[in-house]
Amino acid sequence: MAAKSLGYRIAVYDEMPDGPAVGCADLAITAPFDDLDALARFAEAVDVVTVEFENIPVGALEFLATRVPVRPSAPVVRTCQDRVLEKEFLLNNGFPVAPFRVITSAEELASGLASLNAPSILKTASLGYDGKGQISLKPGDDTVAAWAKLAAPRAVLEQRIAFSSEASVICARSPQHASACFPVQANVHRHGILDVTVAPAPLDHSVATRAQQITSAIAEKLGVIGLITAEFFVLPDGSLMVNELAPRPHNSGHHTLETAMTSQFAQHIRAVCGLPLGPVELRSPGVMINVLGDLWSGGEPDWELLLCEPGLFLHLYGKRGAKPGRKMGHFTLLGEEGRAVPRAIDLRGRVVRH
């Protein structure tokens, strides 16, 4: 939608015929990601390729890159879709990251947990998101049973961090190497899924500046073209640790559709198409609330209640079938944190029909 607003025609490649962007596309190709003939037809139809999420087989991106620019590149996506590569990239380049161990067996898990000697989280190396593919462990737990339960060939065992808050920074970087960071946003997760985002984050200016500097440096070191989001743990002393990276528009940045001078989606298109980056200042503070399938427990939620609220913007994604924990949409309420956050949370609770 952001690309079409700039006059571009859009081709979408998806394994599913009802993929989320198909309805907005001028051309849709439905095929497996390893179908080289379909990928070749896709490449012939476009001038530049970008990704909507990072869990795409890197081989497909490498094949496309022989025919058309792919932004972000296959190496960037490979690093960010694999927790082992991501953690090692951060550690080897001096970025702050929690202590971790690479795990490939129950024996390594026992050794790793003993060496960390602290409450930890075992995460699959790939395909884990929104709290999936994760097991909490503490010293002395049954590591054989935990490894069997995870059922993955590779994993990262990461020491659990006693953070005071979570935050994220979205950075855009263009082919001309210009970069721009959106203001830092504060995030609250529930059951491993993003629940609430507040923009701007109520952080000390020096902490927020440092988070932007780290994210810009990550974007440069990786060679990102497009967007990259860095999720941070903010420690009680104000120091930062990088939790995860995402080389794409990010759930925590959806509020920018209304709060920012340039939305993250428009900024992503500007970056991958080589256009000047847009201004990232906020037009208004605001809070974003994720709408999960849980709200459908009593039937279709009472959307009129939200739509009657001044300064509230509702976005539903048109997904079929509401399931607990499934992201069905979000809404953004403009206003300062002290008023907007409790009001938004109250409204979300009231839309559930009983």
Residues β-bridged to residue 226: 173
Mean predicted confidence (pLDDT) in 228-234? 98
233: which 2 tokens? 């743990």
Per-residue confidence (pLDDT) for residue 19, from 0 to 100: 83
Per-residue confidence (pLDDT) for residue 131, from 0 to 100: 60
Measured CA to CA, the distance from residue 257 to residue 334 in angstroms comes to 11
Residue 130 has pLDDT above 80, yes or no: no
Q: How much is the pTM?
A: 0.95
- Residues 169-185: tens digit of each pLDDT: 999 999 999 999 999 99
Residues β-bridged to residue 312: 333
Per-residue confidence (pLDDT) for residue 90, from 0 to 100: 98
C-beta of residue 163 within 8 angstroms of C-beta of residue 180: no
The per-residue pLDDT of the chain, averaged, comes to 96
Measured CA to CA, the distance from residue 152 to residue 267 in angstroms comes to 36
The DSSP 8-state label assigned to residue 182 in this structure reads P
Residue 132 has pLDDT above 80, yes or no: no
The DSSP 8-state label assigned to residue 192 in this structure reads T
333: which 2 tokens? 């309420």
Measured CA to CA, the distance from residue 185 to residue 221 in angstroms comes to 23
Measured CA to CA, the distance from residue 230 to residue 126 in angstroms comes to 17
- Residues 61-98: tens digit of each pLDDT: 999 999 999 999 999 999 999 999 999 999 999 999 99
Judged by phi (left if over 0) then psi (alpha if -120 to 50, else beta), residue 318 lies in: left
Per-residue confidence (pLDDT) for residue 192, from 0 to 100: 87
Mean predicted confidence (pLDDT) in 104-115? 96
Per-residue confidence (pLDDT) for residue 127, from 0 to 100: 72
Domains of the chain: residue spans and CATH: 2-80 (3.40.50.20), 99-159 (3.30.1490.20), 165-350 (3.30.470.20)
Residue 129 has pLDDT above 70, yes or no: no
Q: Which amino acid is at 50?
A: T
